[in-house]
Chains A and B, each alone.
Chain A
Amino acid sequence: MAGNVATVTRRALLGAPALLLPAAALAAAPERLGFDELYGAWSVTGLRFSDKVKRLDGSSITMRGYMAPPLTAEAIFFVLTREPMALCPFCSSDAEWPPDIVVVYLRRRALPLDPSQRIEVTGRLETGSWTDPESGFVSQLRLRDAAFARG
């Protein structure tokens, strides 16, 4: 259900101008960003954002991934992961998120989705370390004002 709401929102945003101004709409279409493209360099002493991420910082982009199970019932964000998260209590802990995650702040609250359902999220890319004031969750990459659809 949440996915449907989000789909409608995204269509309303993206579909309408496309009918009127195809060229402009193409230019404004959110660029796709893959999980493989987040970091340009991986090292034990830290990751570095890719050139593509640096270029798209502040722009609207679309990513495909999976909605990790919510941290808390009240969380106003969710974590987008490359693969469905299958946390096991003794081989992982809440401290063991993979480094290549993206935190998604939705424009409107939505119900959690089946974590095995792939989704497509569109939002404004934000880079840099940031701590969620309510949960204390630290992220490096975020999508703000986001909406998602099954994808």
Chain B
Amino acid sequence: MRRSLLTALSVTALFAAQAAVAQTIYPVDRAEILAGSRFDLKVEFPGLVARDRASVTVNGRPIAEVFGREAEFIEREDGQPASSIMLRDATLPATGVYTITATDGEHTASVGWQVYAGGQRQARNVILFVGDGMTVANVTAARILSRGIREGRYSGRLTIDDFPQMATVGTSGVDSIATDSANSAAAYNTGHKSGVNALNVYPSRAHNTLEHPRVETLAAYVQRTRGMSVGVVTNTEIQDATPAAVFAHTRRRSDYIPITDQMLASGVDVLMGGGSASFLPQGTPGSRRRDQRNMIDAFRQQGYTFAEDAGSLAEAAAQSGTRRLLGLFTLGNMDGALDRFYLRRGTVERFPHQPDLTEQVRAALQVLERNPAGFYLMVESGTIDKNNHPLDWERSVYDTIMLDNAVRVAQDWARDRNDTMIVVVPDHTHGMAIIGTVDDNRPGEAGRDHVGTYAEAGFPNYPPADARGYPPSVDVSRRLAVFYAAFPDYCETFRPSLTGQRVPAVRQGNVYVANEELCRQAGAQRREGNLPRNEGSGVHAVDDGILRAWGPGSQNFHGFIDNTYVFRGMAEALGLGR
């Protein structure tokens, strides 16, 4: 059904030849729009157009008639000699195929949209777990380290291994095959494709990053139409791309201060992560603001209970009156499991009482379940990606185990309810692969001499996982050999970075060069990068991600899906658009 509708939308192929000179229409061709969801309809004309010459129709009817109000005509957008038409917060309540045609009297362009709705509501709640940058190798290594493997059989399974529904996810955006977390999370949260660095907007020609055509998020939709609660839990800064995609609209993901202000306006009920720096007034050391607003106080005034460590979080969540909770546990990104539990690196000594993602999820569920109308909760282990970028696979794998542990908390909570769908998905992948082991006892001086492949790889000798599910040490004599496909100039050390997150390359002028500290390690091998020299770390892969789903509504996920279908699957499980 879904596929045949998409095929029917190919009307625009007819107009492709004119695209270079004709107007641009947002939402773009082949957009899939949830019935009743809000979106900004924007038409950008390539030059100046007289108001009476410009016209936009929907299935042949003028937009004022279709949407019940006039669109704004902007003769000179941003002072440039180019006109635009903008209709903010448009909605189409009826399902079907729509053809939008824009003309300036000479040139005509057309796009096709499909407006869809869900069926019967199957899930009261939806929990979306995003393993940022979580690659197949992350999951495999998590299983090896956390559960152990002997004679080819794993000694246990991850929680996500038992999820019945799986799909491969295409992650590309409107502008590029290669996505970033903003673009990808925007697709999950709106069902619209977006562009690199963009959060819940179509990248248009607007100069102001906050003025691009916006599309409504799942969070805003379920708050507005169902009275549901919304939660955002992450171990990165709460303004980082994936968490911000639940509630923010901007062309530029690094707009941390506007994102913080939008967070307050969004009314999201539960917010947890790092990133307090963007909440503190400018005069406070540690602040990143350029104004005197104390956003923690602003949240308190809106009825949020504030928690700053694991103890105060558990306490706040346990109080039956807590309906709104803001938990900020570090100034920047939170520390990952390897540093928090074992190596005590990163900012662990400064912020020793950060909650674990499992504790964050437990607290979020405790607060959100107080709303009988249900909730949408997004949980991110963003540090998987933060560690895959600098080729620090051990840290990324520990934070994959952390994600799996957090999924177990949610599944245990939901198991007997039969009203909650859980989706676990990466937003993109990395070129990461496990190819064998590195054994210090193999002969040779160079690190590569210690790499064992095929039969020589054998099995690694990590100690068994502790009660938390992690091996207490990664510094073992026979460890996984993990390599990344894309890298800057760097020195491969063939061993874990015990002193803190790996720094493969450092900037020198306008380029990145290998970090010589790593090159000085015994057995290190210099590798000439395969990325442009202005890249200082590994990059995202275009490879599909693997989605796993469990619970009512999850049967919609199978085969290959576009990232926009993650949104649609959630919307359909919640019976939205009816």
Among the listed A69, A95, A138, which residue makes an inter-chain contact with B256, where contact means beta carbons less than 8 Å apart?
A95
Give bound CA distance, A140 to B536, whole Å. Answer: 28
Check A91 against B389 for contact (C-beta < 8 Å): yes
Residues of chain A with a CB closer than 8 A to B389's CB: 88, 90-91
Q: How far is the CA of A81 from the CA of B209 in the complex (A)?
A: 30
Q: B180 contacts A90, CB within 8 Å?
A: yes
Interface code A115-151, partner B: CB below 8 Å = 1, 0 otherwise? 1100000000000110100001010110000000000
A131–B288 Cα distance when bound, in Å, is 11
Q: Is A114's CB under 8 angstroms from B386's CB?
A: no
Report the bound CA distance from A124 to B395 in whole Å: 40
By a CB distance below 8 angstroms, the chain A residues around B283 are: 128-129
Distance (whole angstroms) from the CB of A118 to the closest CB of chain B: 11
Are A88's CB and B536's CB within 8 A?
Answer: yes
Residues on B with beta carbons closer than 8 Å to the beta carbon of A19:
none
Binds A, one of B29-37, B510-518, B521-529: B510-518
Give B283-329 interface residues, CB cut-off 8 Å to A.
Answer: 283-288, 290, 296, 308-309, 328-329
Partner of A44, one of B330, B509, B535: B330
**CB within 8 A of A87: which of B257, B515, B536, B540?**
B536
Contact B505 A86 (CB under 8 A): yes
User: Are B329 and A96 in touch, CB under 8 angstroms?
Assistant: no
Cβ of A43 within 8 Å of any chain B Cβ, yes or no, is yes
Is A88 a contact of B329 with CB atoms below 8 Å?
no
Which chain A residues in 19-62 approach chain B with CB under 8 Å?
Answer: 39, 42-49
In the complex, the answer to whether B276 meets A45 with C-beta atoms within 8 Å is yes
Asked if B181 is an interface residue, CB under 8 A from chain A, the answer is yes
Partner of B253, one of A47, A86, A93, A138: A93
In the complex, which residues of chain A have a beta carbon less than 8 angstroms from the beta carbon of B288?
95, 97, 138
In the complex, are the beta carbons of B287 and A138 less than 8 A apart?
Answer: yes
Given A86-B390, A95-B256, A42 and B537 touching (CB < 8 A)?
A: no
Given A84-B515, A86-B503, A114-B508, residue A43 in contact with residue B287 (CB < 8 A)? no
A96 near B390 with CB under 8 A, answer no
Cβ-defined contact, A116 with B506, below 8 A:
yes
B206 CB, nearest partner CB in chain A, Å = 20
**Which of B286, B296, B515 is close to A86, meaning CB atoms less than 8 Å apart?**
B515
Among A44, A85, A112, max chain B CB count under 10 A is at A44
| B254 closest partner in A (C-beta) | A93
Residues of A within 8 A of B282 (CB): 129, 131, 138
Please pick, from A43, A46, A85, A91, the residue contacting B507 in the complex, using a CB distance under 8 A.
A85
Q: Which residue of B lies closest to A137 (CB)?
A: B290
Whether B332 sits at the interface, judged by CB under 8 Å, is yes
Contact B507 A69 (CB under 8 A): yes
Q: Are A83 and B503 in contact (CB under 8 A)?
A: yes
Q: Which residues of B contact A131 (CB under 8 A)?
A: 282, 290
Which residues of B420-441 are within 8 A (CB) of A? none
Enumerate chain A residues within 8 angstroms of B347, measured Cβ to Cβ: 42
Which of A39, A42, A86, A98 lies in contact with B351, CB distance below 8 A?
A42
Q: Give the residue name and chain of the B residue nearest to A128 (CB).
A: B283
- The answer to whether A15 has its CB under 8 Å from any CB of chain B is no
CA distance A96 to B282 in the complex (A): 15
A8→B109 CA distance, assembly (Å) = 67
Give the docked Cα–Cα distance between A112 and B508 (Å). Answer: 10
User: B386-407 CB contact bits vs A (8 Å, 1 = yes)?
Assistant: 1001100000000000000000
How far is A42 from B276 in the complex, measured between Cα atoms in Å? 12
CA distance A29 to B536 in the complex (A): 39
Chain B residues with Cβ below 8 Å from A93 are 253-254, 256
Q: Which residues of chain B come closer than 8 Å to A39, judged between CB atoms?
A: 285
Interface string of B49-85 (1 = CB under 8 A from A): 0000000000000000000000000000000000000
Contact residues in A for B104 (Cβ distance below 8 Å): none
- Tell me how far the C-beta of A103 lies from the nearest C-beta in chain B, rounded to whole angstroms: 13
B187 proximal to A (CB < 8 A): no
Measured CB to CB, the nearest residue on chain A to B256 is: A95
A27 and B385 alpha carbons, distance in the complex (Å): 50
Q: Decide if B134 is an interface residue (CB 8 Å cutoff).
A: no
Contact of B331 with A by CB under 8 A: yes
Q: Report the bound CA distance from A46 to B350 in whole Å.
A: 12
Q: Which residues of A contact B286 (CB under 8 A)?
A: 42, 46-47, 99, 140
Known: A46-B280, A69-B507, A86-B507. A136 touches B351 (CB 8 A): no
Residues 10-23 of chain A, each 1 if its beta carbon lies under 8 Å from chain B, else 0: 00000000000000
Q: Which residue of A lies closest to B351 (CB)?
A: A42
Q: Tell me the A65-89 residues at the B interface (CB within 8 Å).
A: 69, 83-89
Which residues of B have CB within 8 Å of A96? 237, 254, 332
Chain A, Cβ-Cβ closest to B539: A90
Query: A94 contacts which chain B residues (CB < 8 A)?
Result: 254
Residues on A with beta carbons closer than 8 Å to the beta carbon of B512: 86
B115: CB under 8 A from chain A?
no
State the CA gap A96–B236 with chains docked (Å): 12
- The residues of B that contact A99 with a CB separation of less than 8 Å are 277, 285-286, 331-332
**CB-CB < 8 A to B508: which residues of A?**
114-116
Q: How far apart are the CA atoms of A77 and B375 in the complex, in Å? A: 49
CB closest chain-B residue, reference A115: B507
Residue among A45, A48, A90 with max Cβ neighbours from chain B (10 Å): A90
A130 to B129, CA, bound (A): 40
Q: Which residues of A contact B507 (CB under 8 A)?
A: 69, 84-87, 115-116
A58–chain B nearest beta-carbon distance, Å = 17
Interchain nearest-CB distance for B335 vs A (Å): 13
Taking the nearest CB of chain A, how far is it from the CB of B354, in angstroms? Answer: 10
B337-361 with Cβ < 8 A to chain A? 347, 350-351
Q: List 8 A-B contacts (CB under 8 A).
A: A45-B308, A46-B286, A84-B506, A86-B503, A88-B390, A89-B535, A90-B389, A90-B540
Residues of B within 8 A of A (CB): 180-181, 237, 253-254, 256-257, 276-278, 280, 282-288, 290, 296, 308-309, 328-332, 347, 350-351, 385-386, 389-390, 503-509, 512-513, 515-516, 535-537, 539-540
Closest 6 CB pairs of A and B: A93-B254, A46-B284, A42-B350, A47-B285, A88-B537, A116-B506
Known A86-B505, A88-B536; 8 more pairs at CB < 8 Å: A49-B285, A83-B503, A86-B506, A95-B288, A96-B237, A96-B254, A131-B282, A138-B290
Chain A residues proximal to chain B, CB less than 8 Å: 39, 42-49, 69, 83-91, 93-99, 112, 114-116, 128-129, 131, 136, 138, 140-141
